[in-house]
Amino acid sequence: MALVDDFVEALLKSNRRLYHFTDSRNVESIRLHGLMPTQTIIERGLEVVTGGDEGSLHIDRQKGLDAFNSLSFCRSHPMAHVARQEGRVETVRILTICPSVLLRPGAKLSDQIATANEANIGPPNDMIGKMDLAATYQRLDWRTPEGQQRRQAAEKWEALVPGIIAPDLIGF
HEC per residue, the chain: CCHHHHHHHHHHHCCCCEEEEEEHHHHHHHHHHCECCHHHHHHHCCCCCCCCCHHHHHHHHHHCHHHEEEEECCCCCHHHHHHHHCCCCCCEEEEEECHHHHHCCCCEEECCCCCCCCCCEECHHHHHHHCCHHHHHCCCCCCCHHHHHHHHHHHHCEEEEECCECHHHEEC
The residue ranking higher by pLDDT, 48 or 39, is: 39
Tell how far CA 133 is from the center of its chain: 16
Q: Which of 69, 58, 70, 67 is nearest to 39 (CA)?
A: 67
pLDDT of residue 71: 97
Q: What is the spatial distance between Cα 11 and Cα 32, in angstroms, rounded to a whole number?
A: 26
Highest mean pLDDT among 46-55, 134-143, 162-171 belongs to: 162-171
Q: Is the pLDDT of residue 83 over 60?
A: yes
How do residues 1-29 score in pLDDT, each as one tens digit? 579 999 999 999 999 999 999 988 999 99
pTM of the model: 0.89
Q: Is the pLDDT of residue 95 over 80?
A: yes
Average pLDDT over every residue of 127-137: 92
- C-alpha to C-alpha distances, 27 to 23, 31, 35, 48, 96, nearest whole angstrom: 7, 6, 9, 10, 12
Judge whether 170 and 96 are in contact, CB under 8 Å.
yes
Average pLDDT over every residue of 125-149: 89
Q: In one letter, which amino acid is 65?
A: L
pLDDT of residue 87: 67
What residues pair up with 53 in beta bridges, in sequence order? none
Q: What is the spatial distance between Cα 155 and Cα 94, in angstroms, rounded to a whole number?
A: 14
